[in-house]
Amino acid sequence: MFRRRHPELDDVTVVFLDEEEPALAEIRGGELALLRRIAAEAVILQDEAEELLREVRAREPLALLAPRGGRLASRFVALAQALPVSDDPAVQRYGERLREVLDHHALMMSASLELLAVAWRSERLEDEIDRITGLGRPAVWLEDIRAALLLEPESDTHAGYFA
């Protein structure tokens, strides 16, 4: 049996607070901040990678290029692994695109150095080194992603500026 402790309280209004809403906004904000940091670092590393690829094409000594290239490739892989796993569709899209670019950049570093190591074996391999012109379209994609992330609102009212 239900008893009122205070009989003078006739009118009761129930207000349900959605406690998840502020938490979701904070989570989204944190995930976007992480994506922005990853994209910013990747853009800086991308400049170093482009320089290294120019040096590969110029046939600089592998002994000088390999340590730098290995460090760059490893850092691109580490950034890809640090991407957030999210339920937010916009964060998922940004993460997927960043992963594509970071994987491409790591592979490009590794493959270019491997090619330089064996290019002396044939003229065809030498020609392949001459075809290395940089990181290509994925480099542009990275800069576009970073710019879009800077414009992405913290709340999801206009989520997914970059799709």
- The structural architecture, per CATH, of the domain 22-151 is Up-down Bundle (1.20)
> What pLDDT score does 121 carry?
86
**pLDDT exceeds 90 at position 6:** no
Please tell me the pTM assigned to this model: 0.79
Residue 9 banded pLDDT, cuts 50, 70, 90: low
Contact (Cβ atoms closer than 8 angstroms) between residue 90 and residue 152: yes
Rounded Cα distance, 150 and 119, in Å? 41
Helices (H), the chain: 20-57, 62-81, 89-118, 123-130, 137-151
Beta-carbon count within 10 A of 38 CB:
24
Determine if residue 160 is left, alpha or beta; phi over 0 gives left, psi from -120 to 50 gives alpha, anything else beta.
left
Contact (Cβ atoms closer than 8 angstroms) between residue 20 and residue 30: no
pLDDT > 70: percent of the chain: 79
Mean pLDDT of 69-85: 97
Residue 163 banded pLDDT, cuts 50, 70, 90: very low
**Tens digit of pLDDT for each residue in 10-24?**
555 554 545 555 576
